[in-house]
């Protein structure tokens, strides 16, 4: 799979993740991870 054909798949995956977490962008996901105190969140 080349990079151009993978891009829509990645966008779809990220969109589904944002929907499930009820956030609108990746920054909000990062904040949720940090607030959840995951062990690897500070790397």
Q: Where are the domains of the chain?
A: 3-35
pLDDT of the residue at 24: 97
pLDDT of the residue at 33: 87
The predicted model scores a pTM of 0.65
pLDDT of the residue at 29: 93
Measure the CA–CA gap between 34 and 22, rounded to whole angstroms: 16
pLDDT of the residue at 39: 72
Question: pLDDT for 1-43, tens place per residue?
Answer: 667 778 889 999 999 999 999 999 999 999 998 898 877 655 5
pLDDT of the residue at 13: 93
CA distances for 7 relative to 14, 18, 24, 40, 42, angstroms: 11, 16, 19, 26, 27
The token pair at 6 is 């993978």
Q: Half-sphere exposure of residue 43, counting CA atoms within 13 Å on the CB side? A: 3
């Amino acid at each position: 799979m080349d990079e151009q054909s993978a891009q829509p798949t990645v966008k779809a995956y990220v969109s589904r993740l944002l929907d499930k977490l009820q956030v609108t962008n990746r920054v909000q996901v990062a904040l949720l991870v940090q607030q959840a105190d995951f062990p690897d969140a500070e790397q």
